[in-house]
Structure 1
Amino acid sequence: MPLKRRGPLQLVQREVDELKKKVDQLVKDVKSQVGSTEEAFRRCQDLQLSAEKTLKTLQNLTKADELAPVGNYDQRKQEEERRLQEILERLNDLFLDLSPPGPSRQAGDVSKDKSRRDANEEEGSSSGDNNEEDSDDDEDEEEKKALKPPSQSDLRIYTVLSDFKGEEEGDLSVQTGEVVRIIRKTVDGWWLAQDSKGNRGVVPKTFLKFGSGVDEDDDDEDEDDDEDESEEVEAAAGEDVIGERDKSSVSNWSTVRKALNEVDATDVLSAMGAIPSGFRPSTLSKLLQEEGESYRASHFLKPQLSQFPLSFKDLLLNPDTGRVQARQVKTCVCFTLWSCRLIPTPGVGVQVLSRHVRMCAFDGSQVLSNIHTVRAAYNPKNPKTWSFSPRTSGLLPILMDGDCFLRCNSESPNLGILFELGVTFIRNSTGEKGELSCGWAFLKLYDETGSPLSNRTYELPVNGGTPYDKNVALETPISRGSPGGVFQQMLNSRRMPKLVIKLKSTNSRTRTQLSVLPDTLLHCLSCVHLLALHRQLLAEALLIDRVSMQNSDPMCSPILASFPVLLDQTDLLDALRSAWLEAENGMSKAQKRDLSYLKQEFTKVYLSSAYFLLHLSSLPTYCWADQNSEEQRARVIYTTLSSLKTSQQSSGHVGNADILFDSTHQHTAFDISQMTFDLLQGAR
């Protein structure tokens, strides 16, 4: 009978068991002094490399790799990761104990070593006898220390001399005066350190000073210590080296690191008690601010180039109808943000400028789509309850509209929607502005069997910390682990922070419009028809109107050049939506079905509304959560559109180019990029 094949997770479990046995044997040999220290040091290095390799293999495993279904797969995988982390912790501590001793370890004899070096420089070889006596004294001291082992933690304590902000995966952000514990010293000068919060990462050794305090009188001694430590590390060349930068890591992990470790106003407010427990600096806001346009809707609206030059992967035309070819993606869902309940509020000294939810496609490790933001409404009498899509008499602003869609072509079985609840605040005392995460929720779009979720209402628990933290609770009156019967647990669950959303279906027209959009996009449902028209104009310009498929010359098209900007300035997109709705109300049914007529009218409406407003000199710069700027922009947009409507009605022409030369409206200085679509810059 053939042997039963083992799955990848089972093989990793066997490797972890073997590693644990080898580590236990190594610790036993070191304690009983079996073999030389050099041999034990080499064995420790080999085990470290094996453990890190096994951990990397385990992290890359997915449930789809298994040969047969595995129950509680995620739980088993997390258990093996925990075991490997514990093994690495033991090996790191053992590595330090087995490392060759250097001057930095003789914490109490720094001045003595310095005076000895000075004497050697003055007397030369005549000090050999004294050195022998000193070495005898050192041997006596080592015998005494063998009876009473020194505190290794005291010998590894260093003080940060200057601020260092980690920029890549594995870096540890530290600030001046902070005390850290060195776990491992390496040849390349990037030392593995641990701060007071338990965060670990590499720090340049030039930013560190031995001891728990910075003393100006001991600067010279520390410089000598650093020189000796450098010589010690260089002598150990060829040993285990860490701190190499993995350029193939997740692109947004460096920003997440800074969001987790960076010390800013939020730490001060937390110390003052103005921030509830579980609040953190906003992770998704950091991505929007520091990664440029990589996570904005305008970036994902661009057509994606294929592997063949100047052709497109996600933009095709149907030769029979002349319309954009529909593309079906793995995930296309529509959902509505309903409400947030029992969300803690910041304390005194902080003024909240905006309550909102930032959302994106997420697979547990990286952001897979643009980050879309919906602002929440609330009642001052009940600030812990947020609501979305409030009833209005006219069009609901896109910023307040909780009806959204997600298109994503990721094959990840853990694909879902990440919701980060946030507040933009300003400190009353300093006027400093910032953004906090009030918690996060995650809706996994597929169950364990790979089937999509059904269309219904879901109540998602809101977790504290960041999306990369685990088991961090928000400030609540009842803890999650409180005892009690089933009835008591039901009552407690109603007192936990929740985000309520609803998955829903749409009509056939909206589904058709969604099918022509980019493969990856998350945005407001009320803008689907505008996005579909833009997509049609884009396809015709790139696939029909070009001289040839090898031609990449810039094209004159104000719509294609400026439309993506509107997705980042939602009030201008609101203006276009309002103007187009008014134009559609005046069309007949036949005109609405005529694609060529729709394109012609859309171009006129666009030029006489959004494009006109975009380059208006009186329009203030778009600024997030700035009430004065938002009110001024609203007044300028409303006044300008009313004036344009009046002039168009009197002239009888919609979208007449003469309005661009109207002296009553001043525009910014003209730039050719305002009317030019560059294929090489406008494609992904």
Structure 2
Amino acid sequence: DDETDDSSGGSVEDNDGVEDEDATPPSQPDLRTYRVLSDFKGEQEGDLTVKKGEVLKIIRKTTDGWWLAQNTGGNTGVVPKTFLKVSTLFEILIIKKTKSTICFFYSSPHSNWSTVRKAMTEIDATDVLAAMGAIPSGFRPSTLNKLLTEEGIRYKGSHHIQPELCQSQLSFKDLFLDPDTGRVRPRHVRVSICFTLWSCKQIPTPGVGVQVLSRHIHLCAFDGTQVLSNIHTVRATYNSKNSKTWSFSPRMTGVLPTLLDGDCFLRCNSSLTDLGILFELGITFIRNSTGERGDLSCGWAFLKLTDDSGNLTYELPVYGGTPYEKDVAAEASLTKGSPTGVFQQMLQSRRQPKLIIKLSFFSLVSRSQLPDTLLHCLSCVQLLALHRQLLADALLMDRPTMQTADLMCCPILATFPSLLDQLDLLDALRSAWMDVERSMSRAQKRDFFHVKQEFHRVYMSSVYFLLHTAELPRYRWADPPTEEQRSRVIFTTLDSLKLKPPNNGPVGGAEVYLSSDHEHLAFDVSELTFDLLSVAK
């Protein structure tokens, strides 16, 4: 076996004695045949659509990576060179590419080529994009996004706002009523903290091979080995003139959309000494050539909550890889070969990726009637507390006996958790509730029974109506056309309900659902009844 080192700028020579393909003049035809590694669908005029396993003849090579090729049918067009492989007596499979070496496996014509072919077809899209130079080193498939998509409801906010049963399954562990006031009794947990995402600096940018649909941060409580809370996502903004800096919107008295709000809180009752907040910086991208979507982690940071430094502002270093790969550095991070001089180290530290957060201590979160474990946006605390109160009323006051677990007719409790997975609907509820709250008098605000009645009316006349609207497309993450269409439907629907109640009746009444002006989906029993046995933790 031959060993190849490209650290000196050299390139690999093929076994038939032909020099490196980059040394071939662009105008000189390539007499060798190439085999297609993956399907490629031409999107522009001049592109050649090819299928996996097809044999091509290269007519002309160019330095931009798009080669002019001819298939067996005589059709010509350009294809990306990353989709091609030299078809020779010895098949070469690139396993891993690093900064200093390229590792190969050589297989003779008599070897088990089916095994090699299977390994080649299972190459991850991240490896392909990294070989193309479309993503920097240190990028990995998103760990927290994988948990959200593959582990079901376990890491979503809709699961963590449900009541938790005690070990005997006969009472609740985190839901209690104050007998004097009839309100949910606040519970003090071991960790109750508020923080603000401020900015990210020197974050590597993807190359021209991908289009970024979303820059965001996944947050959760983490102890070094497992996720202890729900995974909350905050979307970042950036300036095209300074694409390596991400910023987050400051607090705007609750008007800011939840997805963009950098003011968050964490409640956690864990007693682990390594408890902290995990921040995973990620992007959702679409590959220009194939239209393939994906989610990548471009670094992560960790804030240990047991730190007694007393700081309120933290500049956390951002590491590459995953939270389980402690030795992986981001592209711009310090390496072992970094200069040892003080001035050189200062310059290098300014290029290291960092996440800046600010801590704050609000008594609102510690005194609110919230679940024991939850990480979410600060602007939604009041909505979460009102849902908690309605939950306690239904489970602790309105049930005939504590041992009863029958279905309860309560549309709010049945559908409210789904709003935490569709943040635009949560914003619609918050906006509608703020309008009603501003019109209340001081005496009405002090009357808790009146507040609960108004919240029930606002919910049924706004988001509950939207949940059954046929015009509202299905929620899809980081899809600009869908997000725009949903926003337009939500705005126009709420505006029409607020200005023109059907038949001059109360907003949210039965007339709304019987009106011919709106189309509704068929009702389902799960949207009308609350099933304690299926949702309790």
Kindly state the Cα deviation for residue 663 of structure 1 after the two structures are TM-superposed: 1.6
1:602 to 448, 452, 455: 455
User: Do the aligned partners of 1:455 and 1:504 also contact (CA within 8 Å) in 2?
Assistant: no
Kindly state the Cα deviation for residue 477 of structure 1 after the two structures are TM-superposed: 8.2
1:602-623 alpha-carbon deviations (Å, 9 max, x no partner): 0000001111111111100000
| Residue 540 of structure 1 pairs with residue 406 of structure 2 | no
User: Do the aligned partners of 1:179 and 1:196 also contact (CA within 8 Å) in 2?
Assistant: no
* 1:424 aligned partner: 284
1:492 to 348, 360, 375: 348
| Residue 314 of structure 1 pairs with residue 174 of structure 2 | yes
The two structures, once aligned, show a CA RMSD in angstroms of: 2.6
1:385-419 alpha-carbon deviations (Å, 9 max, x no partner): 10001687982110000000000111110100000
Q: Distance in 1 between matches of 2:342 and 2:392?
A: 58
Q: Distance in 1 between matches of 2:535 and 2:247?
A: 37
TM-score by length of 1: 0.60
| Residue 339 of structure 1 pairs with residue 199 of structure 2 | yes
SS at structure 2 position matched to 1:289: helix
Q: Are residues 392 and 381 of structure 1, via their aligned partners in 2, closer, same or farther at CA, if it must alter by over 3 Å? A: farther
1:253-295 alpha-carbon deviations (Å, 9 max, x no partner): xxxxxxxxx8421111011111101111100010001001110
1:330 to 190, 204, 227: 190
Q: Are residues 455 and 318 of structure 1, via their aligned partners in 2, closer, same or farther at CA, if it must alter by over 3 Å? A: farther
| Residue 628 of structure 1 pairs with residue 460 of structure 2 | no
User: Do the aligned partners of 1:343 and 1:384 also contact (CA within 8 Å) in 2?
Assistant: yes
* 1:413 aligned partner: 273
* 1:376 aligned partner: 236
* 2:125 aligned partner: 265
Q: Distance in 2 between matches of 1:536 and 1:178?
A: 64
**Sequence identity, in percent?**
66
Q: Distance in 1 between matches of 2:149 and 2:258?
A: 21
After alignment, is 308-317 or 473-482 more displaced? 473-482
Q: Are residues 553 and 457 of structure 1, via their aligned partners in 2, closer, same or farther at CA, if it must alter by over 3 Å? A: same
* 1:670 aligned partner: 523
* 2:325 aligned partner: 469
The 5-angstrom pairing of residues 470-619 of structure 1 reads 470-476=326-332, 479=335, 482-506=338-362, 508-513=363-368, 516-619=369-472
User: Do the aligned partners of 2:251 and 2:263 also contact (CA within 8 Å) in 1?
Assistant: no
User: Do the aligned partners of 2:303 and 2:316 also contact (CA within 8 Å) in 1?
Assistant: yes
Kindly state the Cα deviation for residue 662 of structure 1 after the two structures are TM-superposed: 1.9
Kindly state the Cα deviation for residue 495 of structure 1 after the two structures are TM-superposed: 1.6
* 1:385 aligned partner: 245
1:541-591 alpha-carbon deviations (Å, 9 max, x no partner): 001111111111000000000000000000000000000000000001121
Q: Distance in 2 between matches of 1:178 and 1:362?
A: 42
* 1:115 aligned partner: none
SS at structure 2 position matched to 1:293: coil
Kindly provide the amino acid, as one letter, of the partner of residue 404 in structure 1.
C
1:586-641 alpha-carbon deviations (Å, 9 max, x no partner): 00112112111110000000001111111111100000000000000000000000
Kindly provide the amino acid, as one letter, of the partner of residue 163 in structure 2.
P
Kindly state the Cα deviation for residue 487 of structure 1 after the two structures are TM-superposed: 3.8
Q: Are residues 624 and 214 of structure 1, via their aligned partners in 2, closer, same or farther at CA, if it must alter by over 3 Å? A: farther
User: Do the aligned partners of 2:319 and 2:333 also contact (CA within 8 Å) in 1?
Assistant: no
Kindly provide the amino acid, as one letter, of the partner of residue 143 in structure 2.
T
| Residue 278 of structure 1 pairs with residue 131 of structure 2 | no
Kindly provide the amino acid, as one letter, of the partner of residue 379 in structure 2.
S
Question: 1 or 2, which has the higher strand percentage?
Answer: 2
Q: Distance in 1 between matches of 2:123 and 2:523?
A: 42
Q: Are residues 408 and 390 of structure 1, via their aligned partners in 2, closer, same or farther at CA, if it must alter by over 3 Å? A: closer
The 5-angstrom pairing of residues 202-213 of structure 1 reads 213=107
Kindly provide the amino acid, as one letter, of the partner of residue 356 in structure 2.
V
The 5-angstrom pairing of residues 331-370 of structure 1 reads 331-370=191-230
Q: Are residues 348 and 318 of structure 1, via their aligned partners in 2, closer, same or farther at CA, if it must alter by over 3 Å? A: same
Q: Distance in 1 between matches of 2:129 and 2:430?
A: 41
Q: Are residues 273 and 540 of structure 1, via their aligned partners in 2, closer, same or farther at CA, if it must alter by over 3 Å? A: same
Q: Distance in 2 between matches of 1:217 and 1:534?
A: 64
Kindly provide the amino acid, as one letter, of the partner of residue 402 in structure 1.
G
Q: Distance in 2 between matches of 1:636 and 1:178?
A: 53
Task: Give the greater-gyration-radius structure (CA).
Answer: 1
Kindly state the Cα deviation for residue 363 of structure 1 after the two structures are TM-superposed: 0.4
Kindly provide the amino acid, as one letter, of the partner of residue 483 in structure 2.
E
Kindly provide the amino acid, as one letter, of the partner of residue 373 in structure 2.
T
Taking CA–CA contacts closer than 8 Å with sequence separation of 6 or more, which of the two structures ends up with the larger relative contact order?
2
User: Do the aligned partners of 1:277 and 1:475 also contact (CA within 8 Å) in 2?
Assistant: yes
1:182-241 alpha-carbon deviations (Å, 9 max, x no partner): xxxxxxxxxxxxx9799xxxxxxxxxxxx974867889xx9xxxxxxxxxxxxxxxxxxx
Kindly state the Cα deviation for residue 321 of structure 1 after the two structures are TM-superposed: 1.4
Kindly state the Cα deviation for residue 480 of structure 1 after the two structures are TM-superposed: 6.4
Q: Are residues 392 and 536 of structure 1, via their aligned partners in 2, closer, same or farther at CA, if it must alter by over 3 Å? A: closer
Unaligned segments of structure 1, at least 5 residues: 1-176, 181-194, 199-210, 223-261
Kindly state the Cα deviation for residue 492 of structure 1 after the two structures are TM-superposed: 2.2
* 1:288 aligned partner: 148
Q: Are residues 517 and 197 of structure 1, via their aligned partners in 2, closer, same or farther at CA, if it must alter by over 3 Å? A: farther
User: Do the aligned partners of 1:310 and 1:552 also contact (CA within 8 Å) in 2?
Assistant: no
Q: Are residues 471 and 477 of structure 1, via their aligned partners in 2, closer, same or farther at CA, if it must alter by over 3 Å? A: closer
User: Do the aligned partners of 2:502 and 2:512 also contact (CA within 8 Å) in 1?
Assistant: no
SS at structure 2 position matched to 1:599: helix
User: Do the aligned partners of 2:497 and 2:507 also contact (CA within 8 Å) in 1?
Assistant: no
Q: Are residues 601 and 277 of structure 1, via their aligned partners in 2, closer, same or farther at CA, if it must alter by over 3 Å? A: same
1:300 to 157, 160, 185: 160
Q: Distance in 2 between matches of 1:521 and 1:511?
A: 12
Kindly provide the amino acid, as one letter, of the partner of residue 429 in structure 1.
S
Kindly state the Cα deviation for residue 509 of structure 1 after the two structures are TM-superposed: 4.3
* 1:458 aligned partner: 314
| Residue 638 of structure 1 pairs with residue 528 of structure 2 | no
Q: Distance in 1 between matches of 2:123 and 2:445?
A: 56
User: Do the aligned partners of 1:276 and 1:345 also contact (CA within 8 Å) in 2?
Assistant: yes
Q: Are residues 218 and 576 of structure 1, via their aligned partners in 2, closer, same or farther at CA, if it must alter by over 3 Å? A: closer
User: Do the aligned partners of 2:219 and 2:231 also contact (CA within 8 Å) in 1?
Assistant: yes
Kindly state the Cα deviation for residue 326 of structure 1 after the two structures are TM-superposed: 1.2
Q: Distance in 2 between matches of 1:433 and 1:611?
A: 31
SS at structure 2 position matched to 1:567: helix
1:306-329 alpha-carbon deviations (Å, 9 max, x no partner): 122331111111111111111111
Q: Are residues 290 and 619 of structure 1, via their aligned partners in 2, closer, same or farther at CA, if it must alter by over 3 Å? A: same
User: Do the aligned partners of 2:251 and 2:261 also contact (CA within 8 Å) in 1?
Assistant: no
